[in-house]
A and B are shown apart, each in its own frame.
Chain A
């Protein structure tokens, strides 16, 4: 911490200072009646304008300045031009202090005539008054959600009111009594915790006390051994982790709240009382202060005590330099970083020490840092990812999307910040036959929306409106009472469920028409929830981030009827990424996208997250994002919007959806092999529709590829992995034709093994002879329909020349003549395939040639000589009864199909006829 020399700002007397919201400028006002806008502490020519005889307080919000002047009013001026723009409010005495919210539109004003008012800046007619003071008020503070108001007054009391109903919540006796603000030595400036608003800090003689705003118990008492004078002003840092206290003798103390350690103390060289302090909202550890002589001062480097000394130190220092001088020596910065952190081989002595010695050394380091002339700022902690709604755009955007899914789009417009009636929500349905688009006036300021094909749900922190889409069903609401301390942070609705995730880690479940079905707790702060049919997927933080990685876990909950069934899933995010999207595919498979653009699916059968699409790779630019709106597993595609240079889609021109295929990030995706493998992987694990034929096709192509590259073992292995009897057959055939005898033999063995598995109850003796039977049966029954495409697939594999075929053909004939039993089976199967293909009239090059050749040669495989194969079999079999039976069987099996087909056809034609006639 270092205090810079103070400089003249205003004439002698009470002076107030504040930072602009963006932290770039300082605004001061004082007893000379001027306000000055400083472009930084070193600005020698601040912009100034006169607002009256004197001014006691100044605050800035948006493009307005609010100044408490001697004319007993609050003057509004524009910012940064400081032109007068009306009067906010008038009193009968001067205004002592004001507090304006960062996140809300309320301003609290106290005046010497013991009046306390809270004004809504958006609707200036709305003024709340708080009474009960019996002394002049000294300071005021609003909590960050404008739910509580604290005022200290000269009667010695600190009072806290509930803003909504103006009820007095608590009185604390802590203020030195005084009869006027002007005579007060101690200003008793209080402050609510700016992050959560759950704590209130107030000065109490030479200590600073932090109380909990729910139980009103004292949480912490901060003090410093070096300072014994009375504290007059306290203020939390913007991050809520540090506390600054200013005393009557001009000392300024900064504490780290959780550890209660003093970060630094600076004393005023002339021991002049400080009358206002302000933290820089940028969070760079800068505090501006004014003393009662009108001097402006600044203290820098009030940062959290750091444990990591090293690169971060130099980094933050450079950042601060940047703030002050606006020049950064980048080369230097990079060099320093290289030296320390980025080089993994470099051993940091401090880090080692810390690891070895643990906590003790930390406090030592801390002490050292507080004593050392150069302070050691710590690295910013990686915060937990905040809760969000999937497929919504951030809240600061206007207009923004509340939801964009496979059903429709929910947009939220805010035309004019100050006008409630200008806010609206628009719902557009992709399928206009589902529902017409809707337009809703957003009086309640809803910030969350969710859409399913049954209901449309919109919500704000304590209120949910559910609008069923079917005609004649009334809208219903969920209202969480204020005092519940429960806030809705995310919602999800599906065709069966409406779910609310709340700030106390509950998930409340309703049915779509308003029955409260249940409530359950999640074991950590919620990040996101999403619902589909009766399933709810909720993501929560299971622990604080480790090394920059978010620890997000998930629960997949099935909520059918009143039953609740849940399963824990872990989540997989790439290092240092956050969750970007959470949803279900159309086949009920949970899916997520991380901020690096990778999409993961969690098929229930695998019980693991599969990275199935790198959406970043599908974008042209590294800065482009793919905003997923829906996932269609059955089409094997993910639907979304390509966003140019951002993660979120814009509004104009209207973004168009595009589809990208699901494709696992395999290595060497540009080779045919990897593509085929990726397809096999995808199709065997996720539920893509009509994929069976494609799997076989791809498998065969992969097999062919391996064969052609002389990788017999790989080819064999592939067929083993798939172990599909048809595939084995086709593969055998292919191998035979390529003249890979060893491979073909092995495949045949495998085929026979597969049959054996299929006919377990067959007796040992009959097994070998009967093994023909089940194969034929399987081929005839189950594979009839698929024959054609399989034949196609063979054709499709960019295969062999004619000469090759001929050669192979003869070899296969040879094989058969030496046939062992299993080979016999295979050749039999081949025949039946040929039969079928010829029936279905498929133009398959090598099948045709096969046919041609066999007919001329009177091959045992020939079509014309259809029973040739069986004739050989007869030698092997004990009797030919079975063969005839088999024949009869297969004939029978075929016949009924034809028979049923024909009448069906007739029926169809008849139907057609009838329809055409009618129409």
Chain B
């Protein structure tokens, strides 16, 4: 899946908004939303919230994990733990990105929140890269507990391909005893793989 598709999935997440308009229930294929009553919080899918926010028809109530103190704790836990820590939301990156871009005024200390979410993402990605590395080296097995869909999908197109290559190389090696020129060339050609292996 590409990031857009993951984002599409993430946008189904419910989020609480405070509408500034009155409307009866809206019946949609995916389910009913509303009724909207001005100033009374209501849960809607993220995509509706973003849409309404862009029309300035609502205030978004940030999810309770989107709070500097909580994220700070999470970041620490992520730093110290060897494994992946469970994220407060399956789509934390998508929610964070969308809300911070559209409704930064509704989130307290939005800039700090943005930085911390980015930090957590970076920590997790580097952890992921190193664990992929160990996996490819054949030293260990991959542990994907608590990984979010977005993170899994950042590695997914790559790993099978890389494994494939390695497998082929191994086959070559076992056939000829020493790696042939053509294989190493093929290896060099896929620069992505090369960077992963570094």
Binding site for B on A (CB under 8 A): 429-433, 639, 653, 656-659
Where chain B touches its partner, the secondary structure class is loop
* B71 interface contact, C-beta 8 A: no
Contacts of A639 in B (CB 8 A): 40
Residue in contact with A431 in the complex, picked from B22, B56, B61, B108, CB distance below 8 Å:
B22
B44-59 contact mask (Cβ, 8 Å, vs A): 1 or 0: 0000000000001100
The 8 closest A-B pairs by CB, nearest first: A430-B39, A430-B38, A432-B20, A431-B38, A657-B39, A657-B40, A656-B41, A433-B21
- Other A-B pairs, 16, CB within 8 Å; known A431-B22, A433-B20, A656-B61: A429-B20, A430-B20, A430-B38, A431-B21, A432-B20, A432-B21, A432-B38, A432-B56, A432-B57, A433-B21, A639-B40, A656-B41, A657-B39, A657-B41, A658-B41, A659-B40
Q: What are 8 inter-chain pairs, A to B, with CB distance below 8 A?
A: A429-B20, A431-B39, A433-B20, A653-B108, A656-B18, A656-B61, A657-B39, A657-B40
Bound Cα distance A432, B21 (Å): 6
Q: How far is the CB of A579 from chain B (nearest CB, A)?
A: 25
Contacts of B56 in A (CB 8 A): 432
Q: How far is the CB of B40 from chain A (nearest CB, A)?
A: 6
A-B contact count (CB 8 A): 27
Q: How far is the CB of A395 from chain B (nearest CB, A)?
A: 25
Contacts of A659 in B (CB 8 A): 40
Q: How many residues of B contact A (CB 8 A)?
A: 12
Residue of A nearest to B18 (CB): A656
Q: How far is the CB of B16 from chain A (nearest CB, A)?
A: 8
Bound Cα distance A456, B122 (Å): 51
Contacts of B39 in A (CB 8 A): 430-431, 657
Give the residues from 1 to 29 in chain B that come closer than 8 angstroms, CB to CB, to chain A: 18, 20-22
Contacts of B18 in A (CB 8 A): 656-657
Binding site for A on B (CB under 8 A): 18, 20-22, 38-41, 56-57, 61, 108
Contacts of A433 in B (CB 8 A): 20-21
Contacts of A658 in B (CB 8 A): 41
Q: How far is the CB of A635 from chain B (nearest CB, A)?
A: 9
Bound Cα distance A658, B108 (Å): 21
Contacts of B21 in A (CB 8 A): 431-433
Bound Cα distance A653, B38 (Å): 19
Bound Cα distance A803, B22 (Å): 50
Bound Cα distance A659, B20 (Å): 16
Q: How far is the CB of B119 from chain A (nearest CB, A)?
A: 24
Bound Cα distance A639, B39 (Å): 10
Q: Which of A430, A653, A657, A658 has the most C-beta atoms of chain B within 10 angstroms of its own C-beta?
A: A430
Bound Cα distance A429, B19 (Å): 11
Contacts of A430 in B (CB 8 A): 20, 38-39
Q: How far is the CB of B149 from chain A (nearest CB, A)?
A: 30
Contacts of B61 in A (CB 8 A): 656
Bound Cα distance A657, B57 (Å): 17
Contacts of B41 in A (CB 8 A): 656-658
Q: How far is the CB of A642 from chain B (nearest CB, A)?
A: 12
Residue of A nearest to B67 (CB): A653
Residue of A nearest to B41 (CB): A656
Bound Cα distance A430, B20 (Å): 5
Contacts of B40 in A (CB 8 A): 639, 657, 659
Residue of B nearest to A408 (CB): B39
Q: How far is the CB of B28 from chain A (nearest CB, A)?
A: 18
Bound Cα distance A639, B61 (Å): 18
Q: Which of A429, A432, A653 has the most C-beta atoms of chain B within 10 angstroms of its own C-beta?
A: A432
Contacts of B57 in A (CB 8 A): 432
Q: How far is the CB of A659 from chain B (nearest CB, A)?
A: 6
Contacts of A653 in B (CB 8 A): 108
Bound Cα distance A432, B23 (Å): 13
Bound Cα distance A659, B61 (Å): 16
Bound Cα distance A431, B21 (Å): 5
